[in-house]
Structure 1
Amino acid sequence: MSNLKYISLFIILLFIGIACTNLDEVWYSAVTPETFFKTEKDVNAALYRPFTHARWYVENDRWRLQEYPADQFAITTKGPHWYNGGENYRYHYHQWTVNDGWIWGTWRGTLMGVALALDTKQDLQNLDYSKVKLTEEDKASHLMQLQTLIAFFYLRGLDYFGGLPIFTSNEGENIPRSSDKETFEHVENLLKEALPKLPKKQQGEAEEGALKQAAAAAMLAQLYFNAEAYIGEDHFDECATICQDIIDGEYGYYELDDDWFGPHDFYNNKSPEIIWSTPSEFNKLQYNWFYADFYHYETYKYFGLDGGANNGAHLQPSRKPTGEIYTEFKLGKPFEKFDNEDLRKKPYIYRGSGKYEGMFLVGRQESPYGITRGTQEYKGEVIYFVDRVARFKKIGIEAPDTASLRSTMADGEENTGIRLVKVPQPNLADENLRNGADNPVIRLAEIYYMLAECKMRAGDKKTAANLINQVRARNFANREDPNPVTADNLDKYRMIDEWGIEFLGEGRRRTDLIRWNMFVTESWWDHKPSNSTHLCRFPVPQQAISGNNALQQNPGYE
Structure 2
Amino acid sequence: MKKLFIYLLLPLLILGSCTKLDQEFYSQVTPGTFFKSEKDILAALNRPFTHARWYVGEDRWYLQEHTADNFAITTKGPHWENGGENKRYHYHSWTPDDGWIWGSWRGTLMGIALALDARSDLEKLDYSKFALTTDDQQAHINQLNTLIAYFYMRGLDFFGGLPIFNSLEGENLPRNTDQEVFAHIEQLLKTAIEKLPPKSQLDEPAAGELKQAAAAAMLAELYFNAEVYIGRPMYQECQQLSQDIIDGKYGPYQLDATWYGPHSFKNDRSPEIIWSIPSEFNKLQYDWFYSSFYHYNSREYFGQDMGANNGTHMTPSRRPDSTLYRNEWKLGSPFEKFDNGDLRKKPYRYLGSSNYEGMFLVGEQRKPDGGVINGTQEYDRRPLFLRDQVGRFSEVGPGKKYSSVAQLPSNMSEGEENTGVRLVKVPIPTLADNSLRWGADNPVIRLTEIYYMLAECKWRRGDIAGAAGLINTVRKRNFVNGADPNPVLAANFDKYRFIDEWSIEFLGEGRRRTDLLRWNMFTTEKWWDHNPSGSDHLKRFPVPTQAISGNNNLQQNPGY
Letter in 2 for 1:456: W
- Match of 1:22? none
The offset of 1:2, in angstroms, is 3.5
Among 36, 39, 42, the residue aligned to 1:41? 39
Name the Cα RMSD after superposition.
1.7
Letter in 2 for 1:373: N
The answer to which of 364-373 and 419-428 deviates more is 364-373
- Match of 2:134? 136
- Match of 1:495? 498
Letter in 1 for 2:73: I
Residues 335 and 29 of structure 1, relative CA distance in 2, 3 Å threshold? closer
The offset of 1:429, in angstroms, is 0.7
- Counting only pairs closer than 5 Å after superposition, residues 129-528 of structure 1 correspond to structure 2 as 129-202=127-200, 203-326=202-325, 327-369=327-369, 370-396=371-397, 397-528=400-531
Determine the C-alpha separation between the residues in 1 that align with 2:109 and 2:315.
32
Residues 294 and 16 of structure 1, relative CA distance in 2, 3 Å threshold? closer
The offset of 1:394, in angstroms, is 1.1
Q: 1:15·1:49 contact (CA, 8 Å) conserved in 2?
A: no
Determine the C-alpha separation between the residues in 2 that align with 1:514 and 1:5.
33
Q: 1:34·1:128 contact (CA, 8 Å) conserved in 2?
A: no
- Counting only pairs closer than 5 Å after superposition, residues 65-104 of structure 1 correspond to structure 2 as 65-104=63-102
Determine the C-alpha separation between the residues in 2 that align with 1:16 and 1:86.
34
The offset of 1:382, in angstroms, is 1.6
Q: 2:4·2:172 contact (CA, 8 Å) conserved in 1?
A: no
The offset of 1:314, in angstroms, is 0.6
Q: 1:293·1:313 contact (CA, 8 Å) conserved in 2?
A: yes
Determine the C-alpha separation between the residues in 2 that align with 1:372 and 1:61.
31
Among 514, 537, 548, the residue aligned to 1:545? 548
Number of residues of Structure 1 aligned to a counterpart in Structure 2: 547
Among 116, 121, 124, the residue aligned to 2:122? 124
Specify the SS of the correspondent of 2:443.
strand
- TM-score (normalizing by structure 2): 0.95
Q: Deviations over 1:260-304 (max 9, x none)?
A: 000000000000010001111101111101100011101101100
Residues 371 and 552 of structure 1, relative CA distance in 2, 3 Å threshold? same
The offset of 1:134, in angstroms, is 1.9
Specify the SS of the correspondent of 1:441.
strand
Letter in 2 for 1:204: D
Determine the C-alpha separation between the residues in 1 that align with 2:280 and 2:4.
29
Letter in 2 for 1:131: K
Residues 56 and 65 of structure 1, relative CA distance in 2, 3 Å threshold? same
Determine the C-alpha separation between the residues in 1 that align with 2:329 and 2:97.
31
Determine the C-alpha separation between the residues in 2 that align with 1:315 and 1:372.
21
Determine the C-alpha separation between the residues in 1 that align with 2:119 and 2:513.
32
Specify the SS of the correspondent of 2:289.
helix
The answer to which of 286-295 and 391-400 deviates more is 391-400
Structure 1: unaligned runs, 5 residues or longer: 20-27
Stretches (4+) displaced over 2 A: 1-8, 13-19, 28-31, 367-372
The offset of 1:502, in angstroms, is 0.1
Determine the C-alpha separation between the residues in 2 that align with 1:501 and 1:288.
22
The offset of 1:398, in angstroms, is 1.3
Letter in 2 for 1:526: D
The answer to which of 31-40 and 254-263 deviates more is 31-40
Specify the SS of the correspondent of 1:367.
coil
Determine the C-alpha separation between the residues in 2 that align with 1:5 and 1:80.
41
Q: 1:302·1:371 contact (CA, 8 Å) conserved in 2?
A: no
Q: 2:4·2:170 contact (CA, 8 Å) conserved in 1?
A: no
Residues 141 and 496 of structure 1, relative CA distance in 2, 3 Å threshold? same
Q: 2:3·2:171 contact (CA, 8 Å) conserved in 1?
A: no
Determine the C-alpha separation between the residues in 2 that align with 1:4 and 1:225.
32
The offset of 1:308, in angstroms, is 1.2
Residues 2 and 17 of structure 1, relative CA distance in 2, 3 Å threshold? closer
- Match of 1:25? none
Residues 525 and 173 of structure 1, relative CA distance in 2, 3 Å threshold? same
Letter in 1 for 2:368: P
Residues 30 and 482 of structure 1, relative CA distance in 2, 3 Å threshold? closer
Structure 2: unaligned runs, 5 residues or longer: none
Q: Deviations over 1:437-487 (max 9, x none)?
A: 000100000000000000000010000000000100000000000000011
Residues 395 and 18 of structure 1, relative CA distance in 2, 3 Å threshold? closer
Specify the SS of the correspondent of 2:448.
helix
Q: 1:386·1:415 contact (CA, 8 Å) conserved in 2?
A: yes
Determine the C-alpha separation between the residues in 1 that align with 2:387 and 2:265.
28
Determine the C-alpha separation between the residues in 2 that align with 1:540 and 1:372.
45
Q: Deviations over 1:514-558 (max 9, x none)?
A: 10000000000000000001001000000000000000000000x
Determine the C-alpha separation between the residues in 1 that align with 2:245 and 2:172.
39
The offset of 1:18, in angstroms, is 6.9
- Match of 1:529? 532
Q: 1:264·1:440 contact (CA, 8 Å) conserved in 2?
A: yes
Residues 278 and 446 of structure 1, relative CA distance in 2, 3 Å threshold? same
Determine the C-alpha separation between the residues in 1 that align with 2:156 and 2:425.
27
- Match of 1:24? none
Residue 556 in 1 paired to residue 559 in 2? yes
Determine the C-alpha separation between the residues in 2 that align with 1:538 and 1:359.
31
The offset of 1:135, in angstroms, is 1.8
